[in-house]
Structure 1
Amino acid sequence: MELEAIPGVGEKTARALRELDDPAATVESGDVAAIARAPGVNEARAARVARGAIRRRHDDASRVLATDRAREVYRGALGLLKERTVTDYAEKRLETFYPSASASRIAEAQAFAAEATKHDPDPAVLDALEGVEPLEDPPTVRVRDRCLATADAEEYARAEARVPELSVETVEDTRDIAELARSYASVIVLDEEFAGMDVEGDVHVRPDALSTPAETVPERLLAFFAENRERLEAAAAVHETVGAADRTGDADGDAAPEPAADLDALRDALSRLDEDGTIVGDAELERLTAAVDDLDTAVSTAESVADDHLREAIRERDVTIEGTDFLSLVEQGARVDSLLDRELADEYDTAMGRAREHLVDALELAPEEVDLAERVFDDDPSFPVERDESTVSRLRTELAAGRDRRAARLKAELAADLGELHGPVEELVRDALELDVELAIARFARDFDCVIPEVRDPDGRDEGDAGDEGVGGADDGSSGGFRIEGGRSPLLDVDFADVEPVDYAVDGVRLLSGVNSGGKTSTLDLVALVVVLAQMGMPVPAEEAALDRFEEVHYYAKSQGTLDAGAFEATLRDFGDLVEGADGRLVLVDELESITEPGASAKIIAGILEALDDQDAVAVFVSHLAREIREAADYDVAVDGIEAVGLVDGELRVNRSPREGHLARSTPELIVEKLADDRGGDFYGDLLEKF
C-alpha cells in the first residue's frame, strides 16, 4: 500500500507510519491504538488515518454531509455513541464510522454493528474495562554490560538503528575484541569472519543478532511487558469477567470467545518481572544481587567483629614481656603485630575465624565463593584488622559476574516465554478495546430502541417493484426515498421515554406543513438522524426503517430572521448549485421563507421544488406557506401535514406523524375555531371562513 495514497495522509504522516513494524497492515486494520504508536501520531490523528484507509479500501470518495446542519446531526449521533464508551480508545475508534455513500462500506459497518448489538452489556464487564488502555512502547532501555562489535561500517549503522539499547563498537581484529571483553560483561560480534576465534571472556559471534532482537537484547521485551503490566492485567480481567458473565447468563447464548492469550501463562510471566523490567522471584539472583550491594558493609562489619574480639582478649589477659625480650623486640624494630603474634596468636586466629564466618553468613556465599571471601582477611596479625582491598575487589567482580550471568540467563528464558505471548497479548488488549466499541453500539441500540435499517441501492432497484402501501400513504419504500416507522429522536431536549414516536415516508419532493411547535423541525431532525446513522452502518432509533443510499445530505436549518441582500444572494446561489445536480441527494429545508418577504419566498421555494422534482430528488421542505407555494408552482406539489387534534386547556394536541396529502391547519385557525365553538357569534364564524 502506498501510504500517501490514503486520503489525508501527507508525506510527514507517511514517514511516521513507516516506523511501525508493518505499516500497511496496521493502517489497513483500522486499529487506532496500533496506528497511534507511530511517532508523533496521536489517537485523533490515528482515527483520521484509519478513516482514510477505509475510504481507500472501498474506493469511497463520497462526502455525504453537505451542510453545516447535516454535520451537526452527525456530531450529535456520534456523541451519543461516544457517551456509551468506557475507554478513550473506543471514543476515537467510533470516529472511523462516518456516513458513507459506498454500498460496500455501509454493508461492512452494518455487519459489525449487527454483531455488536447481540451483546448484553454487563455492568461488571463495563467496570472491568475501566482499566484497559492501548499498549505503549516503553522508553529505550540502555544496557551497559553488553555491546555489539563489527568491522563493517554498514553493519555498524544497521546495528545502531535496530538495537539502540546496546553500544556498538568498531573492531579491526581479535585484539580489539579481547579489549572489549575486558570492559563489557558480554560482547556480541556481528561478523562471521571472527567465528572460531579464541578470546578470553564472554564473547559470542552471532551474525543473526540484528534479526533476533529478543535474544540479543531481551530487556526490550521485558521493558514492554513491564511498561504495560497494568494494561495487560486489566485486559485479562475483562476477558475473565466476560467469561464469568457468560457462564452465569443465558445457556442458549453464544459462548464467550477464548482469550487470545493464555492468561495463566501471562500472569506467571508477569510475576517474574518487576515494574522496572528486572527479574524477580529468583532466590539465587536475589542472593547474588544482595551480596554485591552489601559487600562493603559486610566486610566492615566483619572487621568490627574481629576487632571487638581482639580488644576484649587484650583487656582480659596480662601480657608479660621480660626486659631482655622487650629490648630484643625493639632492637629488631618489631611492631605491636609481633606482640600479638607471640602472645595472642590463638585469639587472633579465633577473631579471623569469626570475621570470615560473619562475611560468609552475611552475604550467604556459596561454597565456591567462600575461599575467596576467606582471603579478604589474611593470617598476618594486625590491630585494628585490615582487609585486603584487592581481594575484596576480586570478590565483588566475581559476585557481580555471577549476578549478571544469572540475570542474563533468566532474562533470556523469560523473554523467550514472553516472546510467545507478545502477539497474543496485543490481540488480547485489542479485543478488550474493540469489545468496548461493540458494547457502546449495543448500549446505544438498547437505550434508544434501535433497529438495523435497510439501506437500498437506488441504482439497482427495479422500478416495477412497488410494494404494499406503507406509512403515511406512501409505498413500503421500494420506490425510493425513506420510510421510518416508530422513529424517536434521542437528540431532542426531553427524556427519550417521553418522545412520541413518528411514522413518516417520503419518495419524492414534499412540503411539510403543520402548526407551530407541532414537531416539524424535530421530524426533519429525525429524518436526518436516521439517514446519517444508517449510512454510518449504525442502528437507528426506530421500530423499522428503510432508505435509499443517498450520495449527499443537504440539511438547511431555519434562518434566524430575514437576510440582508448579500446573504440572500449567497443563499440563492447555494440552492442554485444544489439543484444543478440533485440526483441521489436528500434535501431537508426548514422554513426557507424566513430569508425574505413571504410573497417572494413562496415563489422561490416553488421554483426550487420544481427543479428538484424534475430530477427525481428526495426532499422535504418545512413551510407555513404551503398554500402560497402550491399556487406559485407549475406542478401539483405534494403536501404532508402534522395534524393538530385541537386545543386542550390552552395546550396544543398534535398527531406527530405527518399525514400524507394533508395541508395542516395553522395554530391561529385552531384558536379561531375554538372561539367560534365556545363563544359563537358572527365575528368568529366570519374569521374562520377566511382560513
Structure 2
Amino acid sequence: MDLESIPGVGEKTARALSELDDPERALRTGDVATIATAPGISQGRAARIARGAIRLEHDDPGGFLATDRAREVYRTVRSLLEARTVTDYAAQRLATIYPSPCRSRIAEVQAFACEALERDPDPDVLAALEGVAPLREPGDVRVRERCLATTDAERYSEAREAIPELSVEIVEDAQGLAELARGYSTVIALDESFAGVTLDGDVQVRPDALETPAEVVPERPLAFFARNRDRLQAAIAVHRAADLEAACDLAALEDGLSRLTEDGTVAGDDELDRLTTAIDDLDATASAAESVANDHLREAIREQDVTIEGSDLLSLVERGAGVDSLLSRELADEYARAVAAARDHLVDALDLDQGESEIARRAFSDEPTFPVERDEDVIGRLREELTAAKERRAGRLKRDLAADLADRREGARRLVRDALELDVELAIARFADDFACTMPTVVEPSDVEDGTAADVGFAIEGGRSPVLDEPLERIDPVDYEVSGVALLSGVNSGGKTSTLDLVASVVVLAHMGLPVPAERVRLRRFDDLHYHAKTQGTLDAGAFESTVREFADLAQGGEGSLVLVDELESITEPGASARIIAGILEALSENGATAVFVSHLADEIREMADFDVTVDGIEAVGLVDGELEVNRSPVKDHLARSTPELIVEKLAGEHDSAFYGALLEKFE
C-alpha cells in the first residue's frame, strides 16, 4: 500500500506511519490504537487515516451520505453505538465503520458484526474493560550509572543508535577504561581487544552487547511493562472474564508484572528491599547509635563516683590531659560497653550481613571520647558498599525479569489490542440487543431474477426507529416496503417522518455492515442516500432554484440512489409544488432510483404524474378521546385520510346535521 495515496496522508505523515511495525495491517484493519502510536498522530486523526485507508482498499468513492439530514442520521446511530462502548478506543474504532456503497466493504464488516453478535456483554467483562487503554511507549529511558566504551568511532555511532539509553564513550586504551570505571558503576567495553584486561571496578567486555540490548539495558523492556502495568493487568482480567483465547501466557505475564513497580524497579525481593532500606536509613541509624553510646556513658557517669588523688590530677594536668584521659582511666570498661551498644544498634537496625557489619563496627572508635561520634569516612564507605550491593542485586534482578518479559512484549500488545477490539464487538452486540436488531440481507440488483434495478428497493418488517427519543417497548413496529418510487401520505403526527427516519437508519446501518433495528430487512445495495428533511417555511427564489437544481442533478444520475424527501411542497405554493414533485418522481422512476416522498398533496401529485405512481398511506383508524389512533405501518396503494376528514366524520356521526354530512361529502 502506497501510504501517500491514502486521502489526508502527506509525506510527513507517511514517514511517521512507516515507523510502525506493520502499518499496512493496522491501516487495513482500522487498528486505531496502533496507528496512534506513530509519531505525531492522535487517536482521532488515526481514525480518520484508517477510514481513508479502508476507502482506498475497497476503491470506495465516498459520498454515500449525500445530504445534511443523511449525515445527521449517521451521526445519531453512531453516537448510539459509541454510547455502548467502555473505552475511548472503541468509540474511535467505530468511527472507522462508515456507510459504504462497496459490496466488499459491507461484506467485510458484516462478517465482523456477525461474530460480534455472538458476544455476551457480561457485566464483569464490561467492568474489567474500564481499565483497558492503548499501550503507551515509555518515552526516553536514561541510565546514568552505566556506560558503553569503545575505541572505534564507527562502533561509537552504532552504539549510540542501538542503545540510546546509555552514554557511549570513546577510550584510547585500558587506562581510559579504568578512568571510566571510577565514574560509572558499570562499564561495558564493546571491543574484544579488552578481553583479559584486569581493572578495578565493574568492567565487562561484551563485543555482542549491541545485539542483545535487553541484557545490557534491561530498563528498556521493563520501562514499557512498568508504564503499562495497570492496562495489561486490566487486559488480563478481560481475557479471563470473557474466556478469550490469549496471545500469551496470562499467568506468566501476571507474575512478571507483580514483580515490577511503577518506576520500573523490581519488587518483591527481600534482599533488595533490605539494601534499599539500609541505604535510606543509614544516616538516621548512625545518629541513633551515637545517642545509644552517649546515653549509656551519661548514665554511667551519674551512677559512679570517680576519685582522683592530687598527685594523679597534677600529673594529668601537666601532661595536658582532658576528659578523654579521665574516661580512659576511670571509665574504660563503661566506654567499651557504650561503643559496643552503638555498634550493635547500627548493625541490628540496618540488618547488615557479616561483611557489611565489619565495616559498620569501625564507625565507632575504641579510643575513648565524649561525646561519642561516628566516623563519617567509615559511614561513607558503608554507604558505598551497600549501594554497590544494591545495584548489583537490582541489575541481576532486572536482567532476569527483563529476560522473562522481553519476549512477551508482542503478546502483551496483542492482549490489549484484543481486549479493545472486544469492546467494539460488545458495543455492537449491546446496540443490537437494545434495539432488537437483526442482520439485513443486502441484495445486488443483478442478483434479482427476471428483474431490473428498479425491482429492488427495501423491505422492512417490524422496524423500530432508533432515532426516536422513546423506550423501545413504546415504539410501534413498522412494516414498509418500497420498490421504485412512492408517495407516502398520512395524517399529521401519524408517523410519516418517523418512518423516513426508520428507513434512513436501516439503510445507513446496513451499508455500514451492521445489524439493523427490525425483525427482518431486505434491501438493495444503494450507491448513495439523499434524505431531505422538511423545509421550514417557503423558500426564497434563490433557495428554491438551488433545491430544484439539486433534484435535477439527482434525476440525471440517480440510478442506484435512495431518495427520501419530507414534504417538499413546503418550498413553494401548493399548486406549483405538486407539479414539481410529479416531474421529479417521473425522472427518478425513469432513472431506476428508489424514492419515498412524504406529501400532503399525494392525490394532486398522482393526478399530475404521467405514470402510475404508488401512493402509500399511514392510516388513522379514528379518534379516541380526541387523540389519533394510528396504524403506524404504511398501507400499500392507499391514500390515507386526513385529520380534518376524521374530525368531520366523527362530528357527522355524533350529530344529525345536514351541514356535517355535506362537509363529509367534500372529501369523497
Q: TM-score, normalised by structure 2?
A: 0.92
Aligned partner (choices 298, 305, 315) of residue 285 of structure 2: 298
Tell me which moved more, 191-200 or 599-608.
Answer: 191-200
| CA deviation profile, 1:181-234 (whole Å, cap 9, x unmatched) | 111111234455655544332223445545544323222333333333332333
Q: 1:411 to 1:558 in 2, by over 3 A?
A: same
Indicate yes or no: 2:482 matched with 1:495.
Answer: no
Aligned mates of 1:280, 1:448 — CA distance in 2: 49
| CA deviation profile, 1:591-610 (whole Å, cap 9, x unmatched) | 11111111211221122122
Tell me which moved more, 205-214 or 38-47.
Answer: 205-214
**Partner in structure 1 of residue 41 of structure 2:** 41
**Partner in structure 1 of residue 101 of structure 2:** 101
- C-alpha RMSD of the superposition: 2.8
Aligned residue for 1:512, secondary structure, equals: strand
**Partner in structure 2 of residue 275 of structure 1:** 262
Tell me which moved more, 502-511 or 376-385.
Answer: 376-385
Aligned partner (choices 401, 405, 418) of residue 418 of structure 1: 405
**Residue 409 of structure 1 aligns to which amino acid in structure 2?**
R
Offset at residue 463 of structure 1 (A): 4.0
**Residue 263 of structure 2 aligns to which amino acid in structure 1?**
D
| CA deviation profile, 1:77-129 (whole Å, cap 9, x unmatched) | 11111222222222222112110112111111111111111223223332333
Indicate yes or no: 2:76 matched with 1:57.
Answer: no
Counterpart contact for 1:589–1:620, Cα < 8 Å: yes
Indicate yes or no: 2:585 matched with 1:609.
Answer: yes
Written as runs of structure 1 = structure 2, the 5 A alignment for 1:206-605 is 206-242=206-242, 256-317=243-304, 332-334=319-321, 336-458=323-445, 460-464=446-450, 479-605=455-581
Tell me which moved more, 568-577 or 412-421.
Answer: 412-421
**Partner in structure 2 of residue 469 of structure 1:** none
**Residue 175 of structure 2 aligns to which amino acid in structure 1?**
R
**Partner in structure 2 of residue 149 of structure 1:** 149
Aligned mates of 1:536, 1:517 — CA distance in 2: 30
Aligned mates of 1:25, 1:174 — CA distance in 2: 50
**Partner in structure 2 of residue 82 of structure 1:** 82
**Partner in structure 2 of residue 666 of structure 1:** 642
Aligned mates of 1:488, 1:192 — CA distance in 2: 76
Aligned mates of 1:318, 1:258 — CA distance in 2: 83
Offset at residue 161 of structure 1 (A): 5.5
Aligned mates of 2:280, 2:393 — CA distance in 1: 16
**Partner in structure 2 of residue 642 of structure 1:** 618
Aligned mates of 1:536, 1:144 — CA distance in 2: 53
**Residue 400 of structure 2 aligns to which amino acid in structure 1?**
E
Aligned mates of 2:154, 2:605 — CA distance in 1: 79
Aligned mates of 2:130, 2:102 — CA distance in 1: 35
Offset at residue 341 of structure 1 (A): 4.1
Offset at residue 315 of structure 1 (A): 4.7
Offset at residue 519 of structure 1 (A): 1.8
Aligned residue for 1:382, secondary structure, equals: coil
**Residue 31 of structure 1 aligns to which amino acid in structure 2?**
D
Q: 1:534 to 1:357 in 2, by over 3 A?
A: same
| CA deviation profile, 1:146-190 (whole Å, cap 9, x unmatched) | 223345556655655654543343434433332221111112344
**Residue 512 of structure 1 aligns to which amino acid in structure 2?**
L
| CA deviation profile, 1:499-540 (whole Å, cap 9, x unmatched) | 111111222122222222222211111111101000111100
Aligned partner (choices 589, 609, 624) of residue 633 of structure 1: 609
Q: 1:494 to 1:196 in 2, by over 3 A?
A: same
Aligned residue for 1:33, secondary structure, equals: helix
Q: 1:499 to 1:554 in 2, by over 3 A?
A: same
| CA deviation profile, 1:341-360 (whole Å, cap 9, x unmatched) | 45544444333333322222
Q: 1:180 to 1:25 in 2, by over 3 A?
A: farther
Tell me which moved more, 183-192 or 597-606.
Answer: 183-192
**Residue 500 of structure 1 aligns to which amino acid in structure 2?**
D
Q: Which runs of no fewer than 5 residues in structure 1 stay unpaired?
A: 243-255, 467-476
**Residue 223 of structure 2 aligns to which amino acid in structure 1?**
A
Q: 1:612 to 1:95 in 2, by over 3 A?
A: same
Aligned mates of 2:32, 2:488 — CA distance in 1: 43
**Residue 465 of structure 2 aligns to which amino acid in structure 1?**
S
Q: 1:683 to 1:312 in 2, by over 3 A?
A: closer
Aligned mates of 1:594, 1:427 — CA distance in 2: 56
Aligned residues: 667
Q: 1:80 to 1:380 in 2, by over 3 A?
A: same
| CA deviation profile, 1:421-441 (whole Å, cap 9, x unmatched) | 333333333222222222221
Aligned mates of 1:479, 1:171 — CA distance in 2: 84
Counterpart contact for 2:615–2:636, Cα < 8 Å: yes
**Partner in structure 1 of residue 31 of structure 2:** 31
| CA deviation profile, 1:560-582 (whole Å, cap 9, x unmatched) | 11000111111112112222211
**Partner in structure 2 of residue 201 of structure 1:** 201
Aligned mates of 2:150, 2:642 — CA distance in 1: 90
Written as runs of structure 1 = structure 2, the 5 A alignment for 1:171-186 is 171-186=171-186
Counterpart contact for 1:463–1:479, Cα < 8 Å: no
Q: 1:152 to 1:76 in 2, by over 3 A?
A: farther
Counterpart contact for 1:482–1:548, Cα < 8 Å: yes
What's the % identity of the aligned pairs? 68
Q: 1:94 to 1:353 in 2, by over 3 A?
A: same
Aligned mates of 2:522, 2:36 — CA distance in 1: 37
Offset at residue 317 of structure 1 (A): 4.9
Counterpart contact for 1:62–1:102, Cα < 8 Å: no
**Partner in structure 2 of residue 131 of structure 1:** 131
**Partner in structure 2 of residue 169 of structure 1:** 169
Aligned residue for 2:80, secondary structure, equals: helix
Indicate yes or no: 2:68 matched with 1:71.
Answer: no
**Residue 570 of structure 1 aligns to which amino acid in structure 2?**
S
Q: 1:210 to 1:573 in 2, by over 3 A?
A: farther
Offset at residue 637 of structure 1 (A): 2.2
Q: 1:138 to 1:368 in 2, by over 3 A?
A: same
Offset at residue 616 of structure 1 (A): 0.9
Aligned mates of 2:437, 2:270 — CA distance in 1: 59
Aligned residue for 1:146, secondary structure, equals: strand
Aligned mates of 1:75, 1:154 — CA distance in 2: 57
**Residue 247 of structure 2 aligns to which amino acid in structure 1?**
A
Aligned mates of 1:493, 1:289 — CA distance in 2: 61
Q: 1:378 to 1:575 in 2, by over 3 A?
A: same
Aligned residue for 1:132, secondary structure, equals: coil
Tell me which moved more, 547-556 or 327-336.
Answer: 327-336
Aligned mates of 1:687, 1:301 — CA distance in 2: 110
**Partner in structure 2 of residue 251 of structure 1:** none
Aligned mates of 1:503, 1:279 — CA distance in 2: 64
Aligned mates of 1:526, 1:348 — CA distance in 2: 97
Q: 1:684 to 1:307 in 2, by over 3 A?
A: closer
Counterpart contact for 1:550–1:586, Cα < 8 Å: yes
**Residue 291 of structure 2 aligns to which amino acid in structure 1?**
S
Q: 1:313 to 1:565 in 2, by over 3 A?
A: same
**Partner in structure 2 of residue 253 of structure 1:** none
**Residue 618 of structure 1 aligns to which amino acid in structure 2?**
T
**Partner in structure 2 of residue 249 of structure 1:** none
| CA deviation profile, 1:459-508 (whole Å, cap 9, x unmatched) | x4244269xxxxxxxxxx99411111111112123322121111112221
Counterpart contact for 2:454–2:592, Cα < 8 Å: no
Q: 1:447 to 1:311 in 2, by over 3 A?
A: closer
